[in-house]
Amino acid sequence: MKSFIKRYASSRTQENPLWLVVLSDIMTNLMLFFLILYVFTLNPEVQAGFIEGFNHEVDAVEEKEKKAEDVIQKMLETDIADELARELEKSGLKDLAEVQVTDTKIRINIAAPILFPSGGARLSDRARETLDAVGRLMAELKKNDVVIEGHTDNIPIKSGDYSTNWELSAARASAVLDYIAAKSYLPEERMVAAAYGEHRPVGDNSTREGRALNRRIEIVVKRE
């Protein structure tokens, strides 16, 4: 009895040889090929039904793949937003910058004094360091469009290169966009600069603290 088991056990548990696997694939493909040929010999209604069913299956597979890609993209965006918040805090900007995440956008809010001198639109050295940290992380998002918004308080400009808060906010937003594009963190065709001046406040312009909140640059990453 033991000799019988030894004789046949190894042959039964041995894996199929490679040539048999290849032959099986060829036979399967040939069967599908002849099945398709046979379908085209049938009447047009049967042919149309076969093609429609085949296209439906292809569409279903593509839809599943699209949903899987969307889930992976959302996870990547959330991870990048978390890393951005940690990077800004590490740079000592915990109270001067924040990252907000919603279903439709990631909003990076940076206080204007970090980036620019009062009344000006020339990036400071600290601004470049901050934008480098933000840009390197945003570069990992290959599909998202970005809007760079400039905002100010409502105190009228009395001197300097700009006559209105709107002009100042436009110049600052453009300066940030130009820097990010120049460093190749994001392609220009995925970015746009927007100027809002004092017209979209987030704080009370009647207080010093509120005006400080309103002087800001917001980098908005779209998630749609």
**Residues found in the chain:** 224
SS3 16: coil
How many structural domains are present in the chain? 1
Percent of the chain with pLDDT over 70: 81
Query: Which helix (H) or strand (E) is 32 found in, with range?
Result: helix 18-39
Q: Give every CB contact of residue 220 below 8 A, 6+ residues apart in sequence.
A: 105, 106, 107, 108, 146, 147, 148, 149
Residue 39 maps to a domain: no
Average pLDDT of span 162-167: 94
Residue 105 maps to a domain: yes
Percent of the chain with pLDDT over 90: 56
Average pLDDT of span 95-112: 93
Phi then psi for 52, rounded to 5 degrees? -60, -45
| β-pair type (191-197, 146-151) | parallel
Q: What is the pLDDT of residue 176?
A: 97
Q: Please give the Cα distance from 74 to 34 (Å, whole number).
A: 43
Q: Which of 88, 159, 100 is nearest to 127 (CA)?
A: 88
Residue, of 94 and 149, whose pLDDT is higher = 149
Per-residue pLDDT band at 185 (split at 50, 70, 90): very high
Residue, of 212 and 65, whose pLDDT is higher = 212
Residue 203 maps to a domain: yes
Residue, of 65 and 122, whose pLDDT is higher = 122
**Residue 127 near residue 183, CB atoms below 8 Å:** no
Residue 119 maps to a domain: yes
Amino acid letter, 99: V
pLDDT digits (tens, 9 = 90+) for 8-24: 444 554 556 667 777 77
Q: What is the pLDDT of residue 58?
A: 63
Residue 49 has pLDDT above 70, yes or no: no
Q: What is the pLDDT of residue 60?
A: 67
Average pLDDT of span 137-165: 93
**Residue 127 near residue 116, CB atoms below 8 Å:** yes
Residue 40 has pLDDT above 60, yes or no: yes
CA atoms within a 13 Å half-sphere pointing along the CA-CB vector of 19: 0
Structural domain that includes position 167: 73-222
The CATH number given to whatever domain includes residue 101 is: 3.30.1330.60
pLDDT digits (tens, 9 = 90+) for 56-86: 666 666 777 777 788 888 999 999 999 999 9
pTM for the model stands at: 0.71
Q: What is the pLDDT of residue 85?
A: 93
Residue, of 59 and 145, whose pLDDT is higher = 145
Residue 161 maps to a domain: yes
- Mean pLDDT of the chain, nearest integer: 85
Residue 27 maps to a domain: no
For residue 140, give the DSSP letter.
Answer: T
Q: What is the pLDDT of residue 4?
A: 45
Residue 131 maps to a domain: yes
Residue 111 maps to a domain: yes
